[in-house]
């Protein structure tokens, strides 16, 4: 079994996928890991729309992101914040939905890695178009697209380019 550190090192942004389905058990496992994510006040202000290979809106959803590679993904998860359910801090009214959805999304990505699947966070997409395709109400924000599937042979993991530990951590 992989350690958590190994999983974090193994996960990378996959931008080319094999044209094969994901086993239902694997998909359910990943969604269950998403469900376990923590959230502010445990409000769980989220919803995941699973775009399957058979979905009538699959092409439309993928076209919300203007990169050809995303079309190779057999599945796509649309991770949405429900702003009418998210916690707002009383001192400054900060909406914590963004933080909550980020935790849920990374649970998905790491669980997928554990299952031998690839993912990529995609935030640079047309959210208004996505909202109208999925008929979302104004309280629901599609925050992240997660294409998911088996990495193709063309998908290669680059060396992790990360700041040194002493640049990001300070003991005070």
Ligand X SMILES: Cc1cc2nc3c(=O)[nH]c(=O)nc-3n(C[C@H](O)[C@H](O)[C@H](O)COP(=O)(O)O)c2cc1C
Please, which residue, 110 or 120, has the CB nearer to ligand X? 120
Pairing status of strand 75-82 against strand 140-149:
antiparallel
The interface mask with ligand X, positions 65-94, x = CB under 6 A, is: ------------------------------
Which residue, 12 or 49, has its beta carbon nearer to ligand X? 12
Spell out a b/e string for 13-40, using b for 16 or more CB atoms within 10 Å of the CB, else e.
ebbbbbeeebeeebbeebeebbeebebb
CB 33 to ligand X: min, Å: 17
Judged by CB under 6 A, the chain residues 100 through 129 that form the site for ligand X are 120-124
# residues contacting ligand X (CB under 6 A): 8
Map the footprint of ligand X across residues 152-171, applying CB under 6 A: 160
| Cβ within 8 Å of residue 109, ≥6 positions away | 11, 119, 121, 146
> Shortest distance, CB of residue 166 to ligand X, whole angstroms?
20
- From the CB of 90, what's the least distance to ligand X, in Å? 27
Neighbours of 145 (CB within 10 A): 27
As measured in angstroms, the least distance from the Cβ of 171 to ligand X is 26
The residues that touch ligand X, with contacts defined as CB under 6 A, are 12-13, 120-124, 160
């Amino acid at each position: 079994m992989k350690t958590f550190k190994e999983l974090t090192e193994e996960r990378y942004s996959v931008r080319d996928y094999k044209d094969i389905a994901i086993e239902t058990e694997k998909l359910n496992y990943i969604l269950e890991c998403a469900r376990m994510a923590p959230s502010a006040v445990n409000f769980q202000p989220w919803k995941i729309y699973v775009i399957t290979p058979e979905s009538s809106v699959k092409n439309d959803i993928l076209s919300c992101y203007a990169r050809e590679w995303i079309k190779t993904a057999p599945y796509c998860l649309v991770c949405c914040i429900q702003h009418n359910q998210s916690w707002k801090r009383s001192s400054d009214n900060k909406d914590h939905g963004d933080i909550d959805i980020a935790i849920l999304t990374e649970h998905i990505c790491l669980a997928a890695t554990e299952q031998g699947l690839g993912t990529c966070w995609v935030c640079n997409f047309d959210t208004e178009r996505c909202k109208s395709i999925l008929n979302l109400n104004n309280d629901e924000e599609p925050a992240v697209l997660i294409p998911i599937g088996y990495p193709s042979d063309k998908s290669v993991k680059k060396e992790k380019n990360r700041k040194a530990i002493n640049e990001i951590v300070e003991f005070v």
